[in-house]
Amino acid sequence: MEEYSVIGKRIPRVDGRVKVTGEARYAADYSMPGMLWCKMLRSPYPHARIVSIDTSRAEKLPGVKGVLTGKDFNGWTWGWMPKTRDEPPLAVDKVRYLAEAVAAVAAIDEDTAEEATELIKVEYEELPGVFDPEEAMKEGAPRVHDYVKNNLSWDFHMDFGDVDKGFGEADLVREDRFETGRVITGYLEPPAAVALWDSGGITIWAAKQSPYFVYRHLAACFNLPLNKVRIIQPFIGAGFGGTKNDSLAGDFCSVLFSKRTGRPVKFVYNMHEVLMTCRRRHNMIIHNKMGMKKDGIITAMQSKVIADGGAYTAIGPLTMYLTGSISTLPYKLPHFRHDAYRIFTNNPIGAAMRGHGVTHTRFAAEIQMEMMAEELGIDPIEVRLKNAITAPYETINKVTVHTCGLKEGLKTLSENPKWKKRSGGSPPEGPLSHGVGISGTAYLGGARQRGHQSCGAVVRLCEDGTIDYLTGATDCGQGSDTVLVQIVAEELGLGVEDVDIKRVDTAVTPCDAGSYGSRVTVLAGGAARNAARDVKRQLAEVAARNWEVDPGDIIFKDQRVYVKGEPEKAMPFRKLAQVACYAGSGAVIIGRGYSQYGIEELDFDKGIGNAGTSYSFTSQLTEVDVDLETGFVKCTDMVIAHDCGRPLNPINVEAQNQGGAIQGMGQAMYERFAMDLGKTLNANLADYKMPLSTDVPNIELIDIITDDPNGPYGAKEASEGSTVSSPPSVVSAIHDATGIWFKEQPVTPEKIVMALKKKRE
């Protein structure tokens, strides 16, 4: 790593200070003179026809400046794809999930707005609801959308090789049903925004992780050109997909209120609204079938996924695509068939979440593979090593892998003393049992699809040698601003303190598809590097003229610039900036960079080609203590051997892997929305149990360094990988401690006690 000065260093976050001191302003902190507050009236039914809405009493309440209902949006709907635009800003004619927004009020303060919502009289005709996707698929089930048969929101199919042939060659074939659970993204900052409509168009200070999505939605909803829609990013209190990666009723309503009143309009969802209504991870039922030879080699796999889509499509088609498109990693699959069905129900909307789509099917495949290895008497690491791919590799559906640290990671874990502490699925008779689990998974980085997917970067030289850096990529808490600043600093031979990254503002920062699919380091990082190199090229020309040498011989390092092999020809970077900006008529120096790449073959409908720019590989060892009387599980240790290519900021890679693994552990052990006929029963953070700091195990992180050609400095993704590796590893450990395979998340004490009881019977 010695060739780099800034890259690879444990550099604290550039936004750490303002966040720790409380100076950082989030969307809810914004306030403007004359500002109104917007509040939503939400449906008390999960499925009902709206017979009438009477807003007259609300309108008459002093301080109320406007009331909106669904009709005010003239039938406009939005969605992730042109053909799946099915969600209205406010319900029209019928409501499809409990607490769906039905009307909105703008008033001079929050209390008045809230009070006015209670004065709106809505007459509903309750309709029979459907809450279980398997039920919803049946003929005769109530329809969530009248025009959709069998409530099929989206389906996605892959068929490579000949699975029947593959299963025919197997010595053992298993079929199992898995279920992944209903979990929420779990950010602490609720959705919030302040919207302003003036003759320049829309300006909205909104908590978004991918502001350019919202920019397109607002332009479409209000029929404005894109250059009249401006999303300004405050600091963001986490995203994780779902809600903050999309638009919301509050966005559309606050903009429309501002248009009508000429005043800025603010909304802040409360945590009850968040937990009742916001987009969450799809619950999926996975019927997985796998064939294996006696020696552990997988011969074929077939998956059938039934996902609870909730009331609208949202980003669901991408979720379905991701459940299968990289299922062919990280284990060789000669034959693979995949059928995914996203089903409308009268539940809240299923959408993207960290580990998007992959975490579900990878969980099923990992557990099933280990179950089969157990039946065949093969060690869990051994079966993984036998099937693991090695780079370079092309899967049967043309996913191309240039670097792969999976085998190295698994081998490293197999040599770890902790691995020797396994009970091997034969737990003790005593009350406390110890278990060690394993997993070996893959995830994509630099998510790519067809469309406006590239990133741009602008790097501007100030005449004192400091740098303004503009990106459209949002740091929603993952630390990407720090990594991007490191990249710009590294290229120019500067320190991170010399580079100032600007908050995203769609009017002035370059377009960027968004902070999802572990895109930022890989793609926005590539754009940043190219833009910085563009500045370097321009400065090198000035320096080369100055010293009468070749521009290619100019070196930028340690805040200095010098000629290769001629140490006397050197000057501080600052000085070169002055020379460039002040010599002759003076130069303005602006660097521009793109992350453009070709898409040779990418078939979204068939699951062919690369869904990622590169692929990370995560091997995870997990230790648990299980109380066999109470079913209580304490996760004590994790060792994560992660191949993120080259770690650009090891402290950040650690933090992201820790966070991802804990989020995965929460999903495996604690978190679930308790639902009853579409109602979230535990819509508060006391009853919806995310891991607490006291639940966090010791986590050891081992960087498996590879050097991927498709990422800046060889970097790949870090964070979503461990969200994927953690659930199977935890469940593997619980199996090791209890001898029982749990196929439904979360594995709660209740389930453990019941299963142990059943086993003893």
Stretch binding its own copies (CB under 8 A), from 118-126, 271-279, 393-401, 589-597: 589-597
Stretch binding its own copies (CB under 8 A), from 81-89, 179-187, 577-585, 616-624: 577-585
Distant-in-sequence, close-in-space partners of 378: CB < 8 Å, separation ≥ 6: 295, 296, 386
Closer of 481 and 637 to its own copies (Cβ): 481
Closer of 211 and 691 to its own copies (Cβ): 211
Question: Which one, of 335, 257, 260, 344, lies nearest residue 307 by Cα?
Answer: 344
Helices (H) and strands (E) in the chain, counts: 18, 34
**Can you tell me which of 3, 75, 598, 760 binds its own copies, judged by CB under 8 A?**
598
250-281 as b/e, with b when 16 or more CB fall inside 10 Å?
A: bbbbbbbbbbeeebbbbbbbeeebbbbbbbbb
- Binding-site size, its own copies (CB under 8 A): 59
Six token digits for residue 199: 């003759």
Closer of 585 and 694 to its own copies (Cβ): 585
Cα-Cα-Cα-Cα dihedral of 703, 659, 23, 265, to 10°?
Answer: 130
468 scored as a contact of its own copies (CB under 8 A) = yes
Please, what is the minimum distance in Å from the beta carbon of residue 20 to its own copies? Answer: 10
596 scored as a contact of its own copies (CB under 8 A) = yes
Q: How many CB atoms lie within 10 A of CB 384?
A: 28
**Can you tell me which of 221, 307, 351, 467 binds its own copies, judged by CB under 8 A?**
467
**Can you tell me which of 86, 100, 251, 498 binds its own copies, judged by CB under 8 A?**
498
Q: Give the C-alpha separation, 101 to 96, whole Å.
A: 10
**H/E segment holding residue 571:** strand 566-572
Closer of 138 and 452 to its own copies (Cβ): 452
**H/E segment holding residue 407:** helix 406-414
Six token digits for residue 341: 């069905």
Q: Which of residues 96-155 bind its own copies (CB under 8 A)?
A: none
575 scored as a contact of its own copies (CB under 8 A) = no
**Can you tell me which of 31, 56, 630, 698 binds its own copies, judged by CB under 8 A?**
31
560 scored as a contact of its own copies (CB under 8 A) = no
**Can you tell me which of 173, 590, 690, 753 binds its own copies, judged by CB under 8 A?**
590
Closer of 181 and 510 to its own copies (Cβ): 510
Closer of 502 and 606 to its own copies (Cβ): 502
CB half-sphere exposure, 252, CA atoms < 13 A: 32
Q: Which of residues 631-690 bind its own copies (CB under 8 A)?
A: none
601 scored as a contact of its own copies (CB under 8 A) = no
**Can you tell me which of 458, 476, 608, 718 binds its own copies, judged by CB under 8 A?**
458
**Can you tell me which of 584, 676, 758, 761 binds its own copies, judged by CB under 8 A?**
584
Distances (CA, A) of 291 to 303, 499, 731: 12, 54, 21
585 scored as a contact of its own copies (CB under 8 A) = yes
Question: Which one, of 671, 688, 677, lies nearest residue 274 by Cα?
Answer: 688
Closer of 597 and 632 to its own copies (Cβ): 597
509 scored as a contact of its own copies (CB under 8 A) = yes
Stretch binding its own copies (CB under 8 A), from 121-129, 453-461, 709-717, 752-760: 453-461
588 scored as a contact of its own copies (CB under 8 A) = yes
Query: With left for phi above 0 and alpha for psi between -120 and 50, is residue 392 left, alpha or beta?
Result: beta
Distances (CA, A) of 134 to 158, 262, 285, 323, 677: 21, 48, 9, 18, 14
Contact 38, 254 (CB under 8 A): yes
Q: How many CB atoms lie within 10 A of CB 458?
A: 22
**Can you tell me which of 115, 500, 541, 695 binds its own copies, judged by CB under 8 A?**
500
**Can you tell me which of 464, 558, 687, 707 binds its own copies, judged by CB under 8 A?**
464
Q: How many CB atoms lie within 10 A of CB 283?
A: 25
Closer of 223 and 693 to its own copies (Cβ): 223
Q: Give the C-alpha separation, 284 to 289, whole Å.
A: 16
Stretch binding its own copies (CB under 8 A), from 263-271, 416-424, 500-508, 699-707: 500-508
**Can you tell me which of 456, 631, 711, 712 binds its own copies, judged by CB under 8 A?**
456
Please, what is the minimum distance in Å from the beta carbon of residue 573 to its own copies? Answer: 12
DSSP secondary structure string, 672-709? ---EETTEETT-STTTS-PPPGGGPPEEEEEE-----T
Question: Which one, of 320, 354, 323, 351, lies nearest residue 519 by Cα?
Answer: 354
428 scored as a contact of its own copies (CB under 8 A) = no
Estimate to the nearest angstrom the gap between the alpha carbon of 637 and the chain centroid. Answer: 25
**Can you tell me which of 2, 3, 33, 567 binds its own copies, judged by CB under 8 A?**
33
Q: Give the C-alpha separation, 114 to 102, whole Å.
A: 14
Stretch binding its own copies (CB under 8 A), from 99-107, 444-452, 647-655, 669-677: 444-452
Please, what is the minimum distance in Å from the beta carbon of residue 498 to its own copies? Answer: 7
603 scored as a contact of its own copies (CB under 8 A) = no
Stretch binding its own copies (CB under 8 A), from 13-21, 117-125, 177-185, 736-744: 13-21
Q: Which of residues 714-753 bind its own copies (CB under 8 A)?
A: none
Q: Give the C-alpha separation, 52 to 96, whole Å.
A: 16
**Can you tell me which of 226, 391, 432, 705 binds its own copies, judged by CB under 8 A?**
226
**Can you tell me which of 120, 401, 492, 587 binds its own copies, judged by CB under 8 A?**
587
Residues in the chain, overall count: 761
Q: Give the C-alpha separation, 139 to 142, whole Å.
A: 9
Please, what is the minimum distance in Å from the beta carbon of residue 666 to its own copies? Answer: 33
Closer of 23 and 125 to its own copies (Cβ): 23
Closer of 534 and 623 to its own copies (Cβ): 534
Q: How many CB atoms lie within 10 A of CB 420?
A: 9
51 scored as a contact of its own copies (CB under 8 A) = no
Stretch binding its own copies (CB under 8 A), from 358-366, 597-605, 649-657, 732-740: 597-605
202 scored as a contact of its own copies (CB under 8 A) = no
Q: Which of residues 267-286 bind its own copies (CB under 8 A)?
A: none
DSSP secondary structure string, 68-120? EEGGGGTT--B-SSGGG--B-SS--SEE-STT-EEEEEEESSHHHHHHHHHT-
CB half-sphere exposure, 366, CA atoms < 13 A: 31
198 scored as a contact of its own copies (CB under 8 A) = yes
Distances (CA, A) of 146 to 94, 151, 556: 11, 9, 64
Q: Give the C-alpha separation, 656 to 478, whole Å.
A: 7
Please, what is the minimum distance in Å from the beta carbon of residue 380 to its own copies? Answer: 38
Q: Give the C-alpha separation, 607 to 329, whole Å.
A: 13
**Can you tell me which of 259, 575, 592, 634 binds its own copies, judged by CB under 8 A?**
592
581 scored as a contact of its own copies (CB under 8 A) = yes
Contact 311, 276 (CB under 8 A): no
Closer of 213 and 331 to its own copies (Cβ): 213
Q: Which residues bind its own copies (CB under 8 A)?
A: 17-18, 21, 23, 31, 33, 198-200, 219, 225-228, 448, 450-456, 458, 460, 462-464, 466-468, 470, 498-500, 502, 505, 507-513, 527, 581-582, 584-588, 590, 592, 594-599
